[in-house]
Amino acid sequence: MGMLRAAWLIARKDLIVEARSRELAYTTIFFAIACVLVFSFAFVREGHAAEGEAAGILWVALVFSGTLALGRAFERERQAETLRALLLAPVERAAIYLGKLIGLLALMACVEIILVPIVSFLFDAPIARAPWMLAALLATGTVGFAAVGTLLSAMLVRAHSRDVLLPILLYPIAVPVIIGGVRGTAALLAPEPNFAMAQAWLSMLVFFDAVFVTIALWMFQPVMGEQ
């Protein structure tokens, strides 16, 4: 079976399971909104948001809520040891990684669709100024972050303190993507937008995505080698 078809089967299964349990969707969306609200209490004074904060707040909320989802990505596969069943299937191991990544990206996309208008409303962020560029920045940033996170989540699946270790390991490695996302989005949402700068950061994010996804696909087989 082709790797992409196997990855799609695994992602589809994850999405069906999530649609039934709604466990991750509810927790990540609630956490992301709570995060943004806390920031709004700190940065909105007398109905006016501080300038230039929206991008950072949006990305902090996305990264924190994304970490929650990443922590559960492989945890579910441990419940009836279905991870072993996936590893026993005659498909490339990288397909398991890719399937998990696609499932997570779909979930994070849902969070972003809800979160971006809320951030725009609370912090007066002009998201309609260049919606496609903003969508591209969010998409590439999310892919890079989730690519690293999915691999680390798989590596930590048998670790006792995986919930603590995941953010500790993930954030330093994902820093280039987070910086790229924040700076690119900030350039776009600033009172004087700098489209050239946003474009440059978008190119950097595409490069990081290519590097991170390639390394993760290459590393997943040895990471999952022995169960």
Which spans of this chain sit near other proteins (rule: CB under 8 A)?
Answer: 1, 6, 9-10, 13, 16-17, 20-21, 79-82, 84-92, 226-227
Q: How far is the CB of 119 from other proteins (least distance, A)?
A: 32
CB-CB contact of 214 with 149 (8 Å): no
CB-CB contact of 189 with 126 (8 Å): yes
Q: How far is the CB of 103 from other proteins (least distance, A)?
A: 13
Nearer to other proteins, 89 or 173 (CB): 89
CB-CB contact of 194 with 129 (8 Å): no
- Sign of the torsion angle spanned by Cα atoms 99, 214, 104, 76: positive
- 3-class DSSP state for residue 156? coil
Nearer to other proteins, 80 or 128 (CB): 80
Q: Where are the alpha helices (DSSP H) in the chain?
A: 3-21, 23-43, 54-73, 75-78, 82-88, 93-123, 131-155, 162-189, 195-223
CB-CB contact of 207 with 184 (8 Å): no
Q: How far is the CB of 27 from other proteins (least distance, A)?
A: 16
Q: How far is the CB of 14 from other proteins (least distance, A)?
A: 10
Nearer to other proteins, 116 or 155 (CB): 155
Lookup result for tokens 């299937």: 89
Nearer to other proteins, 78 or 129 (CB): 78
Nearer to other proteins, 134 or 154 (CB): 154
Q: How far is the CB of 22 from other proteins (least distance, A)?
A: 10
